Amino acid sequence: MTDPQQHRQTNNKSARRLFVLVLGMFGFGFAMVPLYDLLCSVTGLNGSTTGRGNEAELTKRVDLNREITVEFDATNNADLPWEFHPLIKKLKVHPGEINEVSYYAKNLSDKAIIGQAIPGITPWQATSHFNKSECFCFKQQKLEPGEGREMTLRFVVDPDLPEQYKTITLSYTFMDTDRTKLKQSGGMPLQSAVTLFTPYKNI
């Protein structure tokens, strides 16, 4: 076998491997929402069970001598035509006090879309100390064409948060819950699949 033939075979193998890798990654992303729903049903990740205590217990121990900076971030999955952002970027809070902030979402498309907000907290060690009693991430959000909505987040930082953590970043990524789009389109170009898997910020 000549060198050019070997080179072409090597390139063909590499291209097939890349295609299989991208296809697998897209399939994983395509299944993220149902997998997330299953995870939440088992762990209470996006529910009021986040954190170790309930609001009534935690608010009995407000620590006015300590301040925690909570930062708010928002991103959209690549295929979701929504505007989505927090109304404030950061807030200084006392552990044990109740806080409320709002996020804003608007459907920029001409079709009704149902989205699911997926939360992330950094540093991850603070996750069990961040208690949400009200959040738009508790359920799916449906926005009609052109509809905008302010969505409330109510939370308490556990006074037992270790002293070394001064800043908590709360991130939300909104994803389209319609998993039939891949079937309707018959697939998607390689470049679109690669774009879909650009890492989310602060997750």
Kindly tell me if the per-residue pLDDT of 189 is higher than 50: no
The pTM for the full model equals 0.66
Kindly tell me if the per-residue pLDDT of 142 is higher than 50: yes
Angle subtended by helix axes 32-43 and 3-30, to nearest 10: 40
Q: What is the CATH number of domain 46-178?
A: 2.60.370.10
The string of pLDDT tens digits covering residues 65-120 is 999 999 999 998 888 999 999 999 999 999 999 999 999 999 999 999 999 999 99
Predicted pLDDT of residue 11: 59
More confident position, 127 or 43: 127
* Mean pLDDT, residues 37-45: 43
Predicted pLDDT of residue 78: 80
Q: In the chain, where are the structural domains located? A: 46-178
Predicted pLDDT of residue 42: 38
Predicted pLDDT of residue 198: 33
